[in-house]
Amino acid sequence: MSTYIKKTFNAKNQLIQVAFLLAVIVIIAGAYISARDNLAELGISSGFDFLNRATGWGYGFSLLETSIEDPYKWTLFSGFINTLFLGSITIILPTALGFIIGTARDSYNITVQAMATLFIQTFRNIPLILQLVFWYAVLIHMPSPRQAHALFDVAYLSNRGMMIPSLKISLFMPIILVLILTFYWTFKNKINALKTLPSFWVYGILLVGTALYLLSVEGQLLSIPNLKGLRFVGGTTIPIELITMIISTSLYGAAYIAEVVRGGLNEVPKGLVEAGKSLGLSERMIWLRIKMPMALRTIIPPLGNQWVFMMKATTVGVAIGFSDLFMLISTSITQSGQTLELIAILMGSFLLINFSLAQFINYLNSRMTLKGH
């Protein structure tokens, strides 16, 4: 009897699963068929051939060289780089700011605490996009370049963006530096010759080498913006969209991360802090050696979630015309009509970014767990 019940029960379960699978197949097939019909009606041929076609339109901010004759693949790649660039800024700056404000929120000094609370409660409880359009409106109402606000006569803020001095170095140098450093860090403990070499020698040689190279090869190092007629010459201009994105995502993200940090600091057992005090450690040492290492274990998982969230939040930049991947994809869709392919690229890119970020967070987490637990 019991085996009979079990059998029918199993049969029922199998039936449910088969029905589920069939439903998924039917949905996908139906979507495919109607997409094929709809696209044929619109006269759009599917496939990724359009990636090699020239776009014929330009866009604002880009880290790479661009022109309106670029093929779609270059434009999209440039958008991807912009998203990564903005994403890394919106991860690093808010994290730094968030740790400071979170620590301030945890301070015993009530005035410091009140200031941190004011900051958190203001910027956390207003939607990001509202903060974004607000700062954009503020910056767009800045004076024109001719009456730009000057900061120490080297940087200028106007409604065209922020003009800052720039270093005149080719991309070649930093790349070599990064390569050498990565090589050194990876093989520091694996190759005997490197093990015996004191690390300050390595850094010293690199520093002196960089300085010598900069002085001899590059000639004049700094380029300072200068008002010539109606516009600035020299230096680098940070476009207004980028400044807006940085300000608003930093404030919004910092408020969130500050709460995460405070939560982590709260979880540190009181006894540990008291033990530190009774050993005569200073406030700074207690924070550095006791509170932070303990708190980091509770901070990192939600901090990682916050990073993923910030990375995704960069897409709202489209509201003020920041040319990130999302904006370039949506412009490409209206221009080329290759909706499905472009959406697939968009989804793929975000899956890639989030997956890599998740791997990094897992790595951090595994580094942080207490040994022997």
Nearest distance, CB of residue 345 and other proteins, angstroms:
11
350 touching other proteins, by CB under 8 A: yes
CA distance 160 to 112: 36
| Cα–Cα distance list, 208 to 16, 154, 215 (Å) | 70, 27, 11
Q: Among the candidate windows 67-75, 174-182, 224-232, 333-341, which touches other proteins by CB under 8 A?
A: 333-341
- Residue closer to other proteins (CB basis): 61 or 119: 119
In this chain, which of 86, 128, 247, 258 binds other proteins, going by CB under 8 A? Answer: 128
Print burial letters for 170-181: b (CB count within 10 Å at least 16), e (below 16): eeeeeeeeeeee
- Residue closer to other proteins (CB basis): 118 or 154: 118
Judged by CB under 8 A, the number of residues near other proteins is 53
User: Residues near 258 by Cβ (< 8 Å), separated by ≥ 6?
Assistant: 97, 98, 99, 101, 102, 104, 105, 116, 119, 120
Note whether 94 and 86 are within 8 A (CB): no
Beta bridge partners of 156: 150, 163
In this chain, which of 29, 31, 215, 285 binds other proteins, going by CB under 8 A? Answer: 31
- Residue closer to other proteins (CB basis): 148 or 353: 353
Note whether 86 and 317 are within 8 A (CB): yes
Beta bridge partners of 239: 161
Nearest distance, CB of residue 37 and other proteins, angstroms:
8
| DSSP symbol at 370 | P
In this chain, which of 347, 356, 359, 363 binds other proteins, going by CB under 8 A? Answer: 347
DSSP string, 201-248: HHHHHHHHHHHHHHHHHS-S-EE--EEETTEEESSEEEEHHHHHHHHH
Q: How many DSSP H helices and E strands does the chain contain?
A: 13, 8
177 touching other proteins, by CB under 8 A: no
Q: Which of residues 8-27 bind other proteins (CB under 8 A)?
A: 13, 16-17, 20-21, 24
- Residue closer to other proteins (CB basis): 35 or 221: 35
Nearest distance, CB of residue 21 and other proteins, angstroms:
6
What one-letter code names the amino acid at 290?
I
Question: What string marks each residue from 33 to 52 as x (binds other proteins by CB under 8 A) or -?
Answer: -xx--xx-------------
Nearest distance, CB of residue 196 and other proteins, angstroms:
45
340 touching other proteins, by CB under 8 A: yes
- Residue closer to other proteins (CB basis): 73 or 312: 312
125 touching other proteins, by CB under 8 A: yes
Six token digits for residue 164: 């800052």
109 touching other proteins, by CB under 8 A: yes
147 touching other proteins, by CB under 8 A: no
In this chain, which of 308, 361, 364, 368 binds other proteins, going by CB under 8 A? Answer: 308
DSSP string, 25-60: HHHHHHHHHHHHHHHHHHT---SSGGGGSB-----S
138 touching other proteins, by CB under 8 A: yes
346 touching other proteins, by CB under 8 A: yes
For 161, the enclosing helix (H) or strand (E) is: strand 161-164
Q: Among the candidate windows 89-97, 136-144, 164-172, 266-274, which touches other proteins by CB under 8 A?
A: 136-144
60 touching other proteins, by CB under 8 A: no
Q: In 61-171, which residue ranges form alpha helices assigned H by DSSP?
A: 72-105, 110-124, 128-140
Q: Which residues bind other proteins (CB under 8 A)?
A: 13, 16-17, 20-21, 24, 30-31, 34-35, 38-39, 108-112, 114-115, 118, 121-122, 124-130, 133-134, 137-138, 141, 308, 312-313, 315-316, 318-319, 326, 330, 333, 339-340, 343, 346-347, 350-351, 354-355
